[in-house]
Amino acid sequence: MTPFLKRLNAAAKGKVLAIQDYFTLAWKALRFTFSRPFYGSDLVQQMDVIGVQSLGIVLLTGFFTGMVLALQSSVQLKTFGATIYIGRLVAGSMIRELGPVLAGLMVAGRVGSGIAAQLGSMKVTEQIDALNTLGTDPIKKLVTPRVLAALLMLPMLTIINDFVGILGGSIIANIYLGLPSSLYWRTVWEQIASGGFTMRYIPNDFIQGLTKPFVFGGLIAVTGCYFGLSTTGGTEGVGISTTRTVVTSSILILVVDYFMTQVLLAFFS
Amino acid sequence: MIDDETKDGVPAPLQEGSKRRPKRRYDDARRSEEVASVRRAIRYELDPEDDDDAEPVREPVIELDNISLAFDEPILKEVSFVAREGETIVVVGESGTGKSTILKLILRLLVPDQGRVSIDGEDISHLSFEEALKVRQKMGMVFQGAALFDSMTVFENIAYPVREHTNLGEDEVEARVREKLEFVDLEPDKVMQQFPSELSGGMRKRVGVARGMANNPEIMLYDEPTSGLDPLTTGTITRLIMKLQRELGVTSVVVSHDIRSAFRMATKVALLSERHIAFFGTPEEMTGSDNTYIRDFLGGT
C-alpha cells in the first residue's frame, strides 16, 4: 500500500508542478512583451510562419466545411420547406463555433507541432543553453514572439475561415437549392444581427467568435513552447514532444471551447 | 588538495563584494582587450616561446568552494578548486561523473545545493536570473556539439552576442566577426554566409569558439572540445585553445576525457572521481603520482 501511495503522491506532485510550470511560462511570455530588449524581427517572422503560412490550410478547411454544412442541412431543411434559412444556419455555426475551433485545430496541428519540434531540437542540441550563456533569456527570445504572433494571427485566420465557409455555403445553396445569393447573404446578415449588438455597432456574434481564437492562439503557442522547452532524450524526445503538443492542444481547444461557450452565452444572450 | 590560497581569495558577501570592486564590471569589453594586449606584450618581452612562465601571484577568477549538488542522486560532493587569471584548468574523469555539470555551475545554469561559486570574487549562487545573464557576459562557452543556431548563418551566429550586448554599428560588428573568424583560422569570406549544417565538425567547433570569444570574455569554458573529432582536428582545436590562453590571457576551464590533449593545454588538471575531486595539480604532479586510481586512470587511456 505504502509504495503505491508514494508513487501516486509523486505522480500527482509531478502533474501539479507541470501545470504550475505551464502557467509560469505563459505568464513570463506575456510579461516580457513589455520589457526590453524587443525582438521585433522575430515577432514579424513568427507572424509570417503562424499566420500567413497557415492561410492555405485554413482556406481549404473553411471552404469545405461551409459547403458540407450547407449540403447536409439542405436535406434536413427541405423536409420542413425551410431552405431559406440555410444562410442563417451556416453563418451561425461558422462564426460562433466551427470557424474558431477548426482554425484552432488546424493551426494546432500545423504550427503547434512546428514550434515543439523546433524548440525541442534546439533544446537537445544545447542551443537553448547557448542562448542562456550568450546572455539572452530564451523565453523572451523564443516564447514571447511565438505567443504574441499566435494571439494576433489566430483571430485573423478565423475571420478568413468564417468568410470562406459562408461563401462555400452560398455556392452550395445556389447550386443545389437554387437559392439566389442575394437572399442567402441577407439571411446571413439577419443571423448576425439577431445576436444583438454591443456598443450599437459590434455584433455580439463577432465578439463571441473572436474571443475564442484569441484564447486558442495563446493555448497553442504556450503548449508548443512548453513541450518543446521541456524536451529531453535526444531526437526521440523531440518526436514525443511534438505528439504531446498536438494531442494536448487539440484537447485543450475542445474543452476550453465548451466552457468559454457557456460563459459567453451567459453574457451575450 | 586545495592549498591555503583559497582562503585569501574568500569573497565578501555579494553586495559588499560588488561595492568593493566596482571596476570589475561585466560588459567592459574594452578593458579586457587592453589588459589582454598589455599582458600579451609583457609575456612576449619576458619569453617569446614559453607560455608556462612563472608570473607573480595571480588573482583567482573562478572559485568553486565546497560544492555539492544532487538531483535524484548526488552528482557532485564537496568539490573545490580555483582557477587563477590566465590559467587553463582541465577537468578529466570517467564519463558520467558530472564534469559538464561543473561548467553549468560556473555559468550559473545550475545552482549548487551547498557551497559557493565565485567569479572574480563575486558569489554568483544567489543572483537573480537577470543578474546571472550579466555575469555570463564575462564568459564564453564552447558546447560539445558547438550548439550553433542552425537557423542563422555563421556570420549571424558570431554577431549574435555582439549585437545583443554592445551598441556597435553594423560595420564594426562585421569587423569583429571577421577578426574572430581569422583568429580561429577560418576564411571569413568563405564561411560567413554558410549555415552551420554546411560545415564540417571541426569547422563548426571553430565557429563555436569564435562565437564564444566574440565579446572578448575573460573566461572561456569548453565542454568536450575534442570529442568526436579526428586526431588532426583534435590537434588543431587543442592548439586553438592554447592560442586563446597565450595571446589573450583568458582563464579557461576545459572538460575533457582526452587525457593527451588535456596534458598539452592544462596549467592544472582536476581529476573527478566518485563525485569528488580525487586530484588537483599540474600535469607533472599527476604523472608523478603513485596513487593507484590516478595510475589506473592514466594507464587506461
Residue B77: count of CB within 10 angstroms of its CB = 17
pLDDT at position B300: 58
Note whether residue A233 is domain-resident. Answer: yes
Global confidence as pTM:
0.80
Parallel, antiparallel, or unpaired: how do β-strands B88-93 and B268-273 relate?
A: parallel
Render pLDDT for B211-268 as a digit per residue (tens, 0 to 9).
999 988 999 999 988 888 888 888 888 988 998 888 888 999 999 888 888 888 888 9
**B114: nearest Cα among B103, B123, B122, B125:** B125
Render pLDDT for B54-96 as a digit per residue (tens, 0 to 9).
556 778 889 888 888 888 788 888 888 888 888 899 998 877 7
Q: What angle do CA B247, A133, A47 make, to 5 degrees?
A: 130
Render pLDDT for A237-252 as a digit per residue (tens, 0 to 9).
999 999 999 999 999 9
Chain A CB contacts of B150 below 8 Å: 125, 127
- If you count residue pairs, one on A and one on B, with CB atoms under 8 Å apart, how many are there? 47
Averaged pLDDT, A54-58: 93
| Chain A contact probe: residue of B110, B151, B207, B255 with most A CBs at under 10 A | B151
A127–B160 CB contact, under 8 Å: no
Distance CA A163, CA B236 (A): 62
Domains of chain B by range and CATH? 5-138+217-299 (3.40.50.300)
Dihedral sign computed on CA atoms, order A189, A195, A196, A199 = negative
Render pLDDT for A82-99 as a digit per residue (tens, 0 to 9).
888 888 899 999 999 999
**B60: nearest Cα among B243, B268, B285, B224:** B268
| Chain A contact probe: residue of B27, B141, B211, B255 with most A CBs at under 10 A | B141
A135–B160 CB contact, under 8 Å: no
B133–A136 CB contact, under 8 Å: yes
Q: How many domains does chain A have?
A: 1
> Residue type for B116, please?
R
Note whether residue A260 is domain-resident. Answer: yes
Note whether residue A68 is domain-resident. Answer: yes
Of B129, B141, B149, the CB nearest to A127: B149
Residue with cell 505528439: A243
Note whether residue A179 is domain-resident. Answer: yes
Distance from the Cα of B66 to chain A's closest Cα (Å) equals 24
Note whether residue A20 is domain-resident. Answer: no
List the grid coordinates of B247: 595571446
Residues of chain B with pLDDT > 70, as a percent, come to: 80
Chain A CB contacts of B165 below 8 Å: 135
Note whether residue A52 is domain-resident. Answer: yes
Domain that holds residue A160: 40-268
B143–A130 CB contact, under 8 Å: yes
**A179: nearest Cα among A65, A67, A74, A94:** A74
Residue B128: count of CB within 10 angstroms of its CB = 8
| Chain A contact probe: residue of B100, B136, B180 with most A CBs at under 10 A | B136
